[in-house]
Structure 1
Amino acid sequence: RATQPDEAVRSQPRTARRGNGQTALRVVPRIHLFDIDIPGGITFKESDTLSPGNEFVTFSNGIAKFGLGICYDVRFTEMANIYRQKECSVLIYPGSFNKTTGPLHWELLHRARAVDTQSFVVGVAPAEDIESSYVSHAHSLIVDPMGIVISQAGKEEEIIYAKLDMEIVKATRCQIPVFDQRRTELYETIQKPS
C-alpha cells in the first residue's frame, strides 16, 4: 500500500478494456474504489493509489445492450439500476475477489444484481493462482434475470458458455414489472437532505 501516492498514478482510474481480443476499443473506468479493512482478513485501500472514474460505459452488439462495471462496482445497486434505466439487458463485471470476500459475496452479489435489474449478469474472474501475491477467488459465472446461475467456472482456468436469450429478459421484466412499480418520488423525498 502506498503512503504517498504518485499523482501521475493516482490520476489513472482502474480500468478494464473492451475489445476484440487484439485491440482495445474502449477503456472502462472503475467507478468505485476498493477500500476495505476486515480484521483478521484483508486490508486494502485502492484510494491511496488510484482515482475513481466517473463514466457509465455501455455498448450494443445489435442483439443486446451491455453495461460495464469493474470488480467492486458489483456491490452498488445504484450503478446497476442506472444501467437498467439505460436499457441494458446484460451487465458485465470483470473482477478478482479475494479469498476472504469471494466465498461470501462473489456469487451472491452477481445474483442480486441480476434480480435487481432483471438482466443477465456476467462475472469474469481470473483462475486461482496460489503462487501469486494476490490469490483470486476465481469462479467466473453467468446469471440469468431470475438470479439463477446458468454457467459457472471452478477455480481453474476455464471458458464458460451460456445462451443469453433476450426474450427471457423481456418476459421477466413483463411478469414482475418492478421498474414500473418503483416509487421514485418517495425514494427521492426520503433520501434528500431537508
Structure 2
Amino acid sequence: ERLPAPGVTHPPDQAAAPTARLLTDLAREHKVWIVGGSLPELDGDRVYNTCLVLDPRGHIVARHRKVHLFDIDVAATATRPAMKFKESDVLSAGESPTLVKLPWCMMGVGICYDVRFPEYALALRRRGAKLLVYPGAFNMTTGPAHWTVLSRGRANDAQCYVAMVSPSRSADPKDYQAWGHSTLVSPWAEVAVEAEHQPGEWVAEVNLSEVDRIRESVPTSYQKRPDLYVPYADDTAEDEHASSARRKRGRAAR
C-alpha cells in the first residue's frame, strides 16, 4: 500500500491504501487509539513492513517501519522442523525507532522480530517509553519456544508494559500458521493477559504508576556499567556473518 505520511489529516486513498483506510475509519468511528499492523508499504521502489498508529480522530500520527528483518535459517532437530526465512530478499529495513506520545504516556512501537533485540527496547525506554507494543506473527516453530520468553524479557529489561499482538491462527493448514497468543506483560515481567490462538477480544488495565514503582525498586538504569559495556557495544564486530550482512544492507541502501 502507498501510505500517507504521519501528520496528514485527510483519509488514505481507498484504492492505494485499503488497509490504512480501514484503520482510519475504525479509529474515527470508535474514537480509540489503534496500533494497526503490520502491512506492506510501498515507497518508491522499496517495500517496508509497516505499522501505523492512529488517534481517535482517525489521523495517522506515527508509522513504524520494521528495523530488524527476519533472516533466519533454523536447522531441523528431533523436536522441531526446519525453518528458513529471508525477508531482506523483498523488504527494506526501517531506519529509526518509533515513539508516540499518548495522552497517558510515551509508547514505543516495534514489529515482530524487533522484539528479539533488547537494545531496541532499552533505546525506547531511554526516550521515555512506558509501554512497548509489538504486532507480530511468530510461527509454529519460534512461537512456542520464544513468544512468551521474549515478551517477558523485554518487559523485564525495559521495566515497561509490553504488548505482543498476534493474528489468530488460520483454520486452513495451507495458510501461514501463526502462533497467536497475544499477550500483555507487566513491568514486573508477569503475564497480565494471554490469549489463545483463536480470534477474540481482551481488555486489561495498565497501571502506569507500577512502571515508576518497579523502576524505583529495582533501579537498573542507575546501576549500569557503561565503562564495561561500551567497548563491546558492537558485539558483532568479530562475527563474519553479521559483518557480511551489514555490507549487503549498505549496498542495498545505496
Q: 1:107 deviation in Å? A: 0.6
1:33–1:72 contact (8 Å) kept in structure 2: yes
| Superposed displacement of residue 87, structure 1 | 1.1
- How far is the alpha carbon of 1:189 from its aligned partner? 2.4
Q: TM-score, normalised by structure 2?
A: 0.69
Structure 1 equivalent of residue 170 of structure 2: 129
CA–CA distance in structure 2, aligned partners of residues 94 and 191 of structure 1: 27
User: 46-55 vs 184-193, which deviates more?
Assistant: 184-193
The match for 1:109 is 150
Aligned match for 2:186, one of 114, 135, 144: 144
Shift of 1:20: 4.3
Identity %: 34
SS of residue matched to 2:146: helix
Aligned to 1:80: 121
* Aligned Cα root-mean-square deviation (Å): 1.9
Count of aligned pairs between the two proteins: 187
Alpha-carbon distance in structure 2 between the residues aligned to 1:65 and 1:25 = 13
Asked if the contact 1:66/1:91 (under 8 Å) is kept, the reply is yes
- Structure 2 Cα separation of the partners of residues 11 and 65 of structure 1: 29
Q: Please report how far the alpha carbon of residue 23 of structure 1 lies from its aligned counterpart in structure 2 after TM superposition.
A: 5.2
2:14 paired residue number: none
Structure 1 length-normalised TM = 0.90
User: Does the 8 A contact of 2:62 with 2:100 survive in 1?
Assistant: no
1:14 alignment partner in structure 2: 49
Q: Paired residue for 1:44?
A: 85
**Structure 1 runs of 4+ with >4 Å offset:** 7-10, 20-23
* Whole-Å separation in 2 of the counterparts to 1:150 and 1:10: 42
> What is the alpha-carbon distance in structure 2 between the residues aligned to residue 32 and residue 159 of structure 1?
29
Whether the 8 Å CA contact 1:10–1:49 is kept in 2: the answer is: no
Residue 133 of structure 1: CA displacement? Answer: 2.2
The alpha carbon displacement at 1:80 in A equals 0.3
Q: Which has the larger radius of gyration?
A: 2
| Separation (CA, whole Å) in 1 of partners of 2:43 and 2:210 | 45
